[in-house]
Amino acid sequence: MEAFVHKSSVIADNVKLGENVYIGPNCTLGFSGYQIKKNNKNVKPLKIGDKSIILSNTAIANNVLIGKNVYIGPNCTLGFSGYQIKKNNKNVKPLKIGDKSIIHGNTIICKGTQIGKECRLDYLSFIGEETTIGKKCVIEYGAKIYDRVIIQDRCFISGFVSNDCLIEKNSIVQGDLIHKFKDIVPFKSELSPIVKANSFIGRKALVIGPIVIEKGSYVGAGAIVTKSTKTKKLYLGVPAREVGFAPRIYIKNHKKIQKS
């Protein structure tokens, strides 16, 4: 069956729509992200895979590849520049959204980002430029993830993640990962926090500066972490201190996640 496009939506001539695609009212698709020139092979037309749904008032640039069975809610913005607006289009990767992913309303995903299969982005989420998110991740309501972040498979993120952070697989980050902003050198990126696999960072916790949250660490709600942690240890307080081992129930549940 051919795609359905609401009569109020505006779509560029080179947009490629798969079978059974639904485009709701007042959408703008395939324009203005980048100029497509004959000598620029890196910039691709917008492509939307079979059985995907795009709801009303959503704007999607060119150089975006959307997989099959993807849901994109109303008022979303995909494939445009973030707060650092650049005109350089060289070596720009397309924004990709994997099959069976769900993007809820009022979400922003900037250019060059890669979203894996079967992810869920809740309402009002923000994803910056050139970020990579693995498969089966959940970006919870209002989360903010900035540029060049790497998030591996099966992570849950609901806080603030600053530029260039690494979050390894099966981790839960409900707090904020931020830079220390000490001895800043203009135009040079500061080293970012690293969260190793199977770690937990609780609500309103802060992880500050170029430190490592080691594998299986558990940081309690409201803790402020300024030093690297140890594997499978529990950290509480301000400043955060090691107070024992990570809860057994948390370690047990993560073993189940790894097998799923």
Greatest Cα pair distance in the chain: 61
Tokens of 111: 């250019």
C-alpha 200/C-alpha 173 separation (Å) is 6
Residue type for position 24: G
Instruction: Specify whether the CB–CB gap between 113 and 98 falls below 8 A.
Output: no
> Superfamily for 1-148?
Hexapeptide repeat proteins (2.160.10.10)
C-alpha 189/C-alpha 11 separation (Å) is 38
* Residue 67 Cα distances to 55, 86, 145, 200, angstroms: 16, 26, 22, 30
> Superfamily for 178-260?
Hexapeptide repeat proteins (2.160.10.10)
Give the residue ranges of DSSP H helices in the chain.
248-259
Partner residues linked to 213 by β-bridges: 195
Tokens of 152: 């591996």
Phi, then psi, of 189 in degrees rounded to 5 = -70, 140
* CATH topology match: 1-148 vs 178-260: yes
Query: Per-residue pLDDT for the chain (260 aa), expressed as one digit of tens each?
Result: 799 999 999 999 999 999 999 999 999 999 875 555 555 667 889 999 999 999 999 999 999 999 999 999 999 999 998 866 555 555 678 999 999 999 999 999 999 999 999 999 999 999 999 999 999 999 999 999 999 999 999 999 999 999 999 999 999 999 999 998 776 667 667 789 999 999 999 999 999 989 999 999 999 999 999 999 999 999 999 999 999 999 877 666 666 665 65
143: nearest Cα among 83, 195, 183, 103: 103
C-alpha 1/C-alpha 156 separation (Å) is 36
C-alpha 240/C-alpha 219 separation (Å) is 8
Peptide bond into 239 cis (omega under 30): yes
Distance of CA 105 to the CA centre of its chain: 15
Domain positions in the chain are 1-148, 178-260
C-alpha 23/C-alpha 9 separation (Å) is 8
Q: Return the CA Rg of the chain.
A: 20
DSSP 3-state of 248: helix
Q: What is the pLDDT of residue 32?
A: 72
Partner residues linked to 219 by β-bridges: 201, 235
What DSSP designation does 92 have?
P
C-alpha 210/C-alpha 188 separation (Å) is 14
Instruction: Specify whether the CB–CB gap between 31 and 15 falls below 8 A.
Output: no
Tokens of 247: 């809860």
**pLDDT, tens digit (0-9, with 9 covering 90-100), for 218-234:** 999 999 999 999 999 99
DSSP 3-state of 250: helix
Instruction: Specify whether the CB–CB gap between 150 and 132 falls below 8 A.
Output: yes
pTM: 0.91
